[in-house]
Structure 1
Amino acid sequence: MKINTLIIDDDADWQKILTKFVQMNPLLELVGTCGSAMEGYAKMAELEVDLLICDIELPDMSGLAFVKSIRFAPCVIFVTAHRDYALDCYDVSPIDFLLKPLDLNRFLQSIEKVRQRLSVLPGAAGVEPYFFIRENHIYVQIAYKDVLYMKAQDNFLEIVTNRQSYLPIMSISKMEEQLKGDVFLRVHRSYMVHREAIQSIAKNDIVLTSGAIIPIGDQYRTQISGKHINGYLVSRNG
């Protein structure tokens, strides 16, 4: 699996240099280049990004502020011509901080750090990812892989698994914030689904392997295409 990489740098010459560095590395897949943070937001809404290579001085907002504003930030490598930013950058725990002009060997070392980080994400070290909910004074452990979908119901969140359903008091947005990795996909204001539980996707709904039909919210269509369909589509008919 290649590492989907997005470059954000407002300097056209540096975009070309960074693009060349990324394309030279067989681990990386360049999914886009942007000249501003706002362009970066738009790209990340459409595409699945594993690695962000980001300049710090951008025209609309700093790269540091941009990364801080992302709820689920990917791995980040900051690039800048200003050494003074180093300490500020580590407020957001980047993978690395590279000074321009870039050294190819130093860049490759950073990519190796990214590879190592991604290889130990939840689920990759032999322990299946899970979360706890509290029911009747008991903590119930639920494995990510057992969940089919989640549905918001007033102040409750219905969690539907292969065996049973749970109804803890919490919002779907709060659950989305706490889930790790990219296992679940928000498809509607009131629904999240496990990506591996999807059987088919139509214009207005998703059919799960269990037969459940989940509606698609208008504002989530682009995200579904960008994060779940694009890059995996191997044929088209109609």
Structure 2
Amino acid sequence: MSIIISETMKKLALVALCFVSTTIHAQTLKNIISESAPEMHFGLFSDWSAIVEHFIAETPDLSLVKVFESAIEAVTSPEIKEADVLFLDIEMPHMTGLELLDALDSSPLVVLVSSKSEYAIDAFNLDVVDYLLKPVTYGRFLKAISRIRSINSSKVELSPEKSDVFVKSDGKLTKVLLEDIQWIEAQRDYVLIHTDAKQHFIHSTMKRLSDRLKSDSFIRVHRSFIVRFDKITDIQDSSIAIGKKVIPIGASFKEALMRRIDML
């Protein structure tokens, strides 16, 4: 797992890693070297953490700041909430990468890494930026970094009076009234904003929108859903409804939702 922390992604990204230690077969390492950028220089690495560390070292404006040795260590670390991007190995002992994501109240941008393609659908349902299959080449790593920078450059700007939001899509900024938003949901590497009148696709993440929409009017009820509180028509034990739309309640978000209800 890797965490990229940056004040300004275009200028500098600081990175921390957490991978389960796995020995890499000599032929696999040879293939990674041959498929990577010719100007790169590799040592003999014994696990994927070292491979990704080297990718970071060879990439301009990326700096390694932290290496986690397990998901359990990461989930209790304050650095994970300060991070902008998280590279996360799925296959780890005691707690998988997917379980770690589900346990976090909020997380940075996430890139999952796995030796199996079967997790891909579940991964994108968890609002991840990218899904890398092992063996990861330097070129594929750079593609993930490019995607991260693209998302970081997308803007959702709140107006001073906080009654509307400007959404960047199709090369222009479109005003969306906050009172018209019903719910927001993750759709792979896009986010879909549902309003009373229409839908808006934007190239962003739930974390970015959640940070920008910090308001009593909105609440995140699941890793993949943010809802406008006054649009909720029904609340069940594990789901809420906005009209005919049923939205699941994530286990790590339920307590905050119940506190909001108790305040009424």
TM-score by length of 2: 0.46
Give the Cα–Cα distance (whole angstroms) in 2 for the partners of residues 118 and 92 of structure 1: 18
2:91 aligned counterpart, secondary structure: coil
Contact map agreement 1:37 1:61 (CA 8 A) in 2: yes
Superposed CA RMSD: 3.1
1:7 maps to what in 2?
17
2:109 maps to what in 1?
75
Contact map agreement 1:4 1:50 (CA 8 A) in 2: no
- Which is bigger in relative contact order (C-alpha 8 A, separation at least 6)? 2
Q: Which amino acid aligns with 1:10?
A: V
Shift of 1:32: 1.0
2:127 maps to what in 1?
93
Q: What are the residue-to-residue correspondences of 1:184-223 with 2, within 5 Å?
A: none
Q: Which amino acid aligns with 1:5?
A: V
1:180 maps to what in 2?
211
Q: What are the residue-to-residue correspondences of 1:6-45 with 2, within 5 Å?
A: 6-11=16-21, 13-45=47-79
Aligned length: 139
Gaps of 5+ in 2: 1-7, 23-46, 164-177, 179-208, 215-264
CA 1:131–1:40: 2 relative to 1, 3 Å: farther
User: Following TM superposition, where does structure 1 have runs of at least 4 consecutive aligned residues deviating by more than 6 angstroms?
Assistant: none
CA 1:115–1:46: 2 relative to 1, 3 Å: closer
Shift of 1:108: 0.3
CA 1:119–1:40: 2 relative to 1, 3 Å: same
Contact map agreement 2:81 2:107 (CA 8 A) in 1: no
Q: Which amino acid aligns with 1:11?
A: S
1:60 maps to what in 2?
94
Q: Which amino acid aligns with 1:75?
A: L
Shift of 1:120: 1.6
Give per-residue Cα distances to partners, 1:86-107, cap 9 Å, x unaligned: 1111111211100111111111
Gaps of 5+ in 1: 133-140, 142-177, 184-238
> Percent same amino acid at aligned positions?
29
Shift of 1:182: 11
TM-score by length of 1: 0.51
Contact map agreement 2:86 2:109 (CA 8 A) in 1: yes
Contact map agreement 2:81 2:108 (CA 8 A) in 1: no
1:144 maps to what in 2?
none
- Say if 2:147 is the partner of 1:113: yes
